Each structure stands twice: as C-alpha cells, then as structure tokens.
Structure 1
Amino acid sequence: MSELDWYLQINLKARHLRLLVTIDTYRNLTQVADVTHVTVPAVSKSLAELERGLGLTLFSRTAQGVLPTPYGECLIRHARSILSVLHQARDELKALSSGTEGKVHVGMLPASASVLLPHALSILKQRSPGTNVMVSEGTTSSLLPELWQGHLDLVVGRLPPPDTLGSFEEKELLEEPVMLMTGRHHPLARKKTLTWADLRSYPWILPPLGSILRDPLERALEAHEVPLTNNYIETLSIHVARAHLQVSDFIAVMSGIPANDPTHPFHVLPLSLPRLLRPTGVLWNRNRGLTPSARLMVSCLEEAAEQLTMGHEPGSGR
C-alpha cells in the first residue's frame, strides 16, 4: 500500500474533509478560523498536516488568498460528495430514531412537473404521513448537478435528451403533449375554424433560449410559416404563464393541463404539434442508489402517472 493509499484509507477523517470544503468556500484562512472558532495558526497547522500526510500540495498561497491546486480541486470535489452522503445518513438515522420514515429531497422542473408531482405527494402522504419531502424548483442545468452531487435524491420533470444522462437512471412516467393555449377570452378561442396563419399577429409566452423546448418549438412554427413576433415574454414559470394568459391575448406553449379541466380558465387551440419533447419522468443517480423513502416516492409518482393517464383523480382510488 502506497503512502497516499494508506493516508486516504486509514488516516483521513471527516474533519479533514470539512476543513477542505471550508477553505475552498472562503479562500481566506482568517475567515476560516473565524467560522470554525479556532486560531489561524491552528488552521494552517491542520492544513499542513493534511498536505504532509497526502504528500500533495492542496492550496497555493497567493495575493488573492488561498487557491486550490489541481490536487486540491480533485479532493475538494470528492469531499463535498462524501460529506453529502454522511449528511444523508445522519438524516436517515435521525428519522429512524424519532419514529418518522425518512425525508426525500426532490428537484422539480416546474414547467413539466407541476401537475404530476403534487398528485404524487398527495399519494405519498396518504401512504406514509411520516415520510417528509423537500421540493426545490429549478432548471435542468441547475438541478442535475445537485442530483449528481447527492444534494437531491430525485429530479422530476421533462426527461432530458438521452445523451446527457451520464450516470443518471431514468424512468418514463407520463406522456404530456405540448399544446398551444390561450385564455378563454382570447379572440382565437371564439373562432369556429382555426388555421396556423391565424396565429401570426399575436404575441407569445415562450420558454427561454437554451431551454429544451425552445429550439424544437421554433422549428415547428417555422414549418407552419408562423414567424415569432418581437412581442413576447420568456419564462419557465408555469404560474407566470397561467396568470398572464388570463389577462392578455398572448399564446403560450404548455403541457400537463387537461384541455377540459373546468378549474383552469384556458383554451387549447385545436392545432396539432409534433412530439417536441421526451416524456415527463424521474431521474436519480445510479451510482448512489435510492433510499427507502426515495423508492417510495418513485412508487407514488408511478401511481400518480397511471391515474392521470386513466383520467382518475390521483389519490382518490379507482
């Protein structure tokens, strides 16, 4: 066994990992000493002992503070991952000792999971009131790194292209067609017959540039000779889109809202779009596996998706 192997397997402690992450966060030993309630010499000594044990220089002292070397960046990345796993273990142990059944950290893509996830949460709470959930909204680019690092157990929403999955496992749950929608007061909602040309003069609520829907949507509209006007709003917020449709003559591209649902004051334009996106589903990190609570959440998502597909109200029974 080499000296490096011996130190990593025998002598490396959680306090070393916390020290690395804290130094990387602040890049200033005085601040590190303040937040850890020790002296600057004590911080320097601990770092020197760690570098000596590994036989590697982890940080460089510069005029801008202490900056990680490539060795430091490597170890810090793994330190954050290991500490995240330890925190998850702590949470599970606390849940078991307190009689609750665990906690699930779920990332939600709001534009595509705003119907499925609430129904699944309702089923979860009926099955297991002691299983608690923290939901964080975000984009694919913000949530997938959190999932990879272990800060999230699951990500629910429109599945990304297969070539971006890497170490993620996926389960398809629900086909939600993309629809063109307006408020019920919209002039197009009152037309008995509608053609693509009728859309040309109206403003749009669009997904932002770079989002997974924007490019295929633009291509589909171009195929029908519907150029986008310069009058538009860009948002991924389903709440903003719904609210604006009710008070404007905008057209929005939405999914997951039943066309005949009386609780939503929207009108679905009878124009068929091709399949622009992959189904809604759930992702997790296959290298970490799923906790019992996360497995239960996946099961509830599957049941909610099945009931939505069958037209039942999720959680109300068959």
Structure 2
Amino acid sequence: MTAPIQPDTGAGASATGHFDPTRLKTRQLALIVQLDIHRSVLHAANAAHMTQPGATKLLRELEETMGVELFERHPRGVEPTWYGEVLIRHARSVLAELQHAYEEVSALKAGLTGQAMIGTEVTAATNLVPQAVALLKKRFPKIRVNIEMEFSEVLVQRLQEGKLDMIVARIRNPDDLAELHYVPLAEAQHALFARVGHPLVKRKALSWSELAPQTWILPPKGNVMRNRFTQLFLERKLALPTDVVESSSLPVITSLLQMSDMIAPLAREPLRPYCIAGAIEPLPFEFDLKLGPAGIVTRRGERLSPGARAMLQALRETAGFDTQGPGAADH
C-alpha cells in the first residue's frame, strides 16, 4: 500500500467537499474490489465480466468522481493507495448489503423459505411463542421453525454461541447487555401448586413454617428460580426444605403433582390449562417470587436470515411491540 497522494480538483470533487453519490456505479465498486483481489486490471476486468479498456475507463471515471487517485499503476499491475483502501472497504460493505437485499427480495418472491431457530423459557413456551409461530406459518408456510425450551441461562449462552437466532429469556448478567438486544415483556406471576384435593388446599392460609416440611419439586441448583426460592427461606431464617425432587421438565412436574402430595413453585400461565381441567390448583398462599421479566433477546448487530427476521417480526407483533405488518421487521 502506497502513501496517499494529495487530492486534485477534478470534476468530481467540489470546492466545498460536496459529494454526489448518484455519480457512483455499482460496476465501479465491483471493479475496485476485484482490483484489490487481483492487483491486475486485466484479471480484475475478467473477474468483473468486462473488457480491459472498459475497466480502465470505469476506474478513471471513479477517480475523477472521488477527486483522488485510488490505485497506483506500476509495471507489475496496480496497488491501492490509502484512498483506495478506504473506498474498497466501503465498496465491499455496499455490495454485501445489495446481496442481502437481493436475497430477501428473492425469498419474498418465492414465498419466503428458510429456517428460524428460537429458544424460549417455559412461560413464553405456553402462549407467546406458539402464537407467534402460528402467525408466522400462516404468512409463510415454507419457513422451518425450530423451537428449543430451556432455562434462561442456557438459552443466553446458546444465543451468544450463534446456535439460536433469538430467545425469550431473562438476562441476569448486565455484561451480556453489551452484546445482546433485550426488549422486556410483562413479568410472570408465580404461585405454589398442588393437586386438586391436596390437604393444604382447603386451608384458609398457610405459613412458611408449615410449607417447609412438604415434599417440594424444584428446579436444579444454579437456576434463577431455585436461587430466589432459597433466598426467600434464608430471609425468613428458615431451614431449607430437605425433601426435594429436582426437575426442569414441566410434563414431569405436573405428573408428579397430580399423582402425589408434592408441591411446586411455578409460573401461573403454563399451569392455566391444568387448573381449568381440574387437575392442579394453587395453594392459598401469597408467594412473592419475583424473577424479573423475560424479554425478546437477539444479538446486537447480527444480520438475521429472511426466515429468522420474519419469525422475529411475528414474535414482536404477538407481544404487542410492533403492529406494522410483516415487512416492518427492523433488525
């Protein structure tokens, strides 16, 4: 790379430094990218599907428009100047954006195909996410949707690793917000649940000391709900329950509740169908469990595929964040 030359006062550069981007041609941008790759006008012209005289003319016109020399000519070929390096970098970006635009338009013309990978914690998995997927499939039946349900901590890690396009989860580590975009949802309400007819259900009120000896179904240690549950006992200077079954599977938990006298702290929304069916009901106990709101989370600056963008749009609309239609996804 050579040192920069002083700009001239060619026809493309005004005295005030005003620049008219409409004078640039896409073929010029493609040419300088190929010149950077091949360092030869002949080879770059062939790669850009043009003649050598045509390439030389386009490069000269571009240098006149920019008012600087972009490539230094020498017997072995060409080498970009510092000005050329700057324009090449932006030319690559412009061409990449045009390619993305073409892919999205082509996908829409074809009925939008592709895949969307979404992760969700259990509460959103029972209502928000299924509704959003149903909306997406109504609009774009050909998009394949993969749904993964896990604890928030696992989902955040898988999103950061690029294994998921988006998640509905809680963010506990403030440092994650630097690389993740988080839009909070309403906070879920929790209660203590047991089978219909459980001995404690008929009580008018319950105390923490009465609940402690019960057989509890709890998430594994390290989970945010388990940590908060432990904190509630410690704040009241009570011994932690020792009769515990650990499970993160909602079907397993609900089955255990229905066939035993176990109790479990759970979000109300996922248990609504079981309560309506008369299988499970909340205990008469005010359970002040605040975990913080889950939210729709994506990676900052990540360019999603057309299919994933359509899924994100459907998720936002279902959550009430965006009602401008399928073309309004802004990510």
- Please, what TM-score do these two structures have when normalized by structure 2? 0.58
Q: 1:257 aligns with which of 270, 285, 290?
A: 270
Q: 1:153 aligns with which of 148, 161, 165?
A: 165
Secondary structure in 1 matching 2:157: helix
Secondary structure in 1 matching 2:112: coil
1:226 CA drift (Å): 4.8
The amino acid of 1:125's aligned partner reads K
1:271 maps to 2:285 = yes
Is 1:113–1:157's contact at 8 Å kept on the other side of the alignment?
A: no
1:286 maps to 2:329 = no
Q: Which residue of 2 aligns with 1:116?
A: 128
The 1:244/1:101 distance shift into structure 2, 3 A limit, reads: same
Residue pairs, 1:156-167, within 5 angstroms: 156-167=168-179
Rounded to whole Å, the distance in 1 between the matches of 2:117 and 2:123 is: 19
Structure 1 unaligned blocks of 5 or more: 3-8, 12-87, 308-318
The 1:115/1:234 distance shift into structure 2, 3 A limit, reads: farther
Q: Which residue of 1 aligns with 2:84?
A: none
Q: Over aligned residues, Cα RMSD in angstroms?
A: 3.5
Secondary structure in 1 matching 2:276: coil
Q: Which residue of 1 aligns with 2:325?
A: none
Q: Which residue of 1 aligns with 2:209?
A: 197
Is 2:118–2:167's contact at 8 Å kept on the other side of the alignment?
A: yes
1:170 CA drift (Å): 0.9
Residue pairs, 1:41-120, within 5 angstroms: 99-110=111-122, 113-120=125-132
Q: 1:230 aligns with which of 221, 242, 246?
A: 242
1:95 CA drift (Å): 5.6
Residue pairs, 1:164-243, within 5 angstroms: 164-224=176-236, 226-243=238-255
Rounded to whole Å, the distance in 2 between the matches of 1:127 and 1:98 is: 13
Secondary structure in 2 matching 1:297: helix
Secondary structure in 2 matching 1:287: coil
Is 2:120–2:168's contact at 8 Å kept on the other side of the alignment?
A: yes
1:245 maps to 2:257 = yes
Identity rate of aligned residues, in percent? Answer: 31
Secondary structure in 1 matching 2:270: coil
Higher mean C-alpha deviation, range 256-265 or range 98-107: 256-265
The 1:199/1:293 distance shift into structure 2, 3 A limit, reads: same
Structure 2 unaligned blocks of 5 or more: 3-35, 39-99, 322-331
Is 1:92–1:103's contact at 8 Å kept on the other side of the alignment?
A: no
Rounded to whole Å, the distance in 1 between the matches of 2:37 and 2:158 is: 29
- Please, what TM-score do these two structures have when normalized by structure 1? 0.60
Rounded to whole Å, the distance in 2 between the matches of 1:178 and 1:276 is: 8
